[in-house]
Amino acid sequence: MPTSDPAPARPRSPSPTWRVLSLVLAVAGGLATDAAFPERGWWPLAFVGVGALFVALRADRAWWGALVGFAWGASFFLVHLWWANEATDTVPWLALSLMEAAFVAALGAAWVWARRWPWLRARPLAQAVAFAVLFVGAEQARTEVPFGGFPWGRVAYSQVDSPLAHAAPLGGEVLVSLLVALVGALLAVAVLRLAPGPADATTPPPDAGRVVVRPRTGVPVAVPVLLAVVLATTPALVPLDARAEAGTLEVGAVQGNVDEPGLGSFANRAVVLNNHLEGTVALLDQVEAGDLDVVLWPENGSDLDPQTNPDVAAGIDAAASDVGAPILVGAQEYPPTGGRYNVSLLWEPGAGVVDRYAKQHPAPFGEYIPLRSFVRLFSAEVDRVTTDMLPGTETGVIDLASPRLGRTVPLGVVICFEVAYDTLVRDAVDAGAQVLVVQTNNASFGYTAESTQQLAMSRLRAITTGRATVQVSTVGVSGVVAPDGTLLQSTALFTPDQLVASLPLRTSLTPAVRAGYAPAMTVLVLTLGLLATGIGTGTRARRRATATDHSTEAPDAPEDPSTSSAAP
């Protein structure tokens, strides 16, 4: 009879054939997952990619699971983050991509350990749930560490046009990613039921002398398929409210463009500033002076600080006066104590700066260099960042006084990569922001998918928070997004353009905003619990197996009484 905590089957080394097949499957899964994101946007492939990883991780060896996970992660991130190579150099791109892939490697090993829990081994559907939790746990971990984390490439960002996006107001990107991973794992379970192999993780191989727990009943293929279909489509029933709750805000957004794509974008001082000054005046081709509540400029829309350059201040003030509206200016500040801030300045005509936000999460190795002397050993590119950026300390809310509305409108502001961090956006909305502004500078990334990947994040933020969102870039892609994630307007890359929009202002809070960090914390706790349970039960079983082996060994020969000092 099986014991309550039986010894698991001894791990077996994967066969050479399966090693090759699993690595090929892992690489194909990583590439398929990337194709779910912009530019291609084939969002169903996210299910295929995650499912391929589940199948590829069938062998019961932790080291092999780590290798397979790393192969999946490397194939995904090396392609997905190609824009980093465009903006920096090969070494930083490789370092970032492989560091992110290491989290998927940890997922591979963790999955092998977790499923050694006998209860889990016996239940394929429960395995799908557990795998989805571990997958999102690994995503959340790389969102937070090291150096504040890097959330780029979370599978939730691939789903802005899928039914699963409707789950975002309920649980944010954590819930959306969890559903993607669960649908993929359920489909993989169905595939494994059709073609089980000798290394099938859902059916442990026999081991002579050991009691193993086998699945109580076979799971019909239709069950995981039906569950996957239900999970992938049911969120569409969740309504997404895009109605105005507190009036509308009339905005203009200016994409000024640069002289040349790439690293030389800001080589000529004041060119970017002049482009945005001209673009602001060009808004008068679409509206009358005074019609707009605010004009939005991108990150680094002014490549010179208007607070310390009188000529720059005069130019911005003149443009604001011409259009009859304040300008939200992206600029850099250099405090006398050293360092610099990436700031968003609200410039009122005739008054200057009346409110300010400083970027809270500078990008490591892009805007500041941790471990500079050590990193320089691998790439001299670190010295391109001559002055490290300092983190701001205030929540991203800028108060805009609107004479037309007769009140102050809180704008939620994040700068560039900050849109990838849900906590920063959520904090702004929780602090009262009624609309979101994402100021970004994509000039260094050339004609890559970086800007459209970022726009997908802005769209998911709009859905999660129920806030209209404007992403405004120096070079594109800029876009206006409704509170339900619909892309209302967008621009092309490396073209000067202007957008005019009437944004619905909203004050209600979605369940995802109210929940705060709870969904992420829940996933992390469950991840640690699964890992601890799998490792703990496996360790206890191995100890009992060792003790059983020792007890069955031949006893020592009895001592000859005639030679014993204790003989009578």
Is 553 an active-site residue?
no
CA dist., res. 453 & res. 151, Å (int): 12
Answer for the pair 458, 491: CB distance below 8 angstroms, yes or no: no
Q: Classify the phi-psi angles of 488: left when phi > 0, otherwise alpha if psi is within -120 to 50, otherwise beta.
A: alpha
Q: Please list, in sequence order, all residues whose beta carbon lies within 8 angstroms of the beta carbon of residue 559, skipping any fewer than 6 positions away.
A: none
What does the buried/exposed string (b/e) look like for 154-185 if buried means 16 or more CB atoms within 10 Å of the residue's CB? bbbbbbbebbbbbbbbbbbbbbbbbbbbbbbb
Is 299 an active-site residue?
yes
Joined together, the tokens standing for residue 102 give 């290491």
- DSSP code per residue over 65-124: HHHHHHHHHHHHHHHHTHHHHHHS-HHHHHHHHHHHHHHHHHHHHHHHHHTTSHHHHT-H
DSSP strand pairing (487-490 vs 479-481):
antiparallel
248 phi, psi to nearest 5 deg? -125, 155
Taking Cα atoms as reference points, which of 403, 422, 425, 423 lies closest to residue 413? 425
Helical (H) or strand (E) element with 280: helix 271-282
- Of the residues 173, 359, 367, 418, which is catalytic? 359
CA dist., res. 505 & res. 243, Å (int): 8
Taking Cα atoms as reference points, which of 409, 414, 408 lies closest to residue 472? 414
Answer for the pair 137, 527: CB distance below 8 angstroms, yes or no: yes
Is 416 an active-site residue?
yes
53 phi, psi to nearest 5 deg? -65, -40
Answer for the pair 462, 493: CB distance below 8 angstroms, yes or no: no
The Cα diameter of the chain in Å comes to 119
- Of the residues 299, 367, 418, 450, which is catalytic? 299
DSSP bridge partners of 402 = 407
- For residue 52, the number of C-alpha atoms closer than 13 Å in the C-beta half-sphere is 25
- Of the residues 173, 416, 418, 450, which is catalytic? 416
287 phi, psi to nearest 5 deg? -135, 165
User: Which residues are catalytically annotated?
Assistant: 299, 359, 416
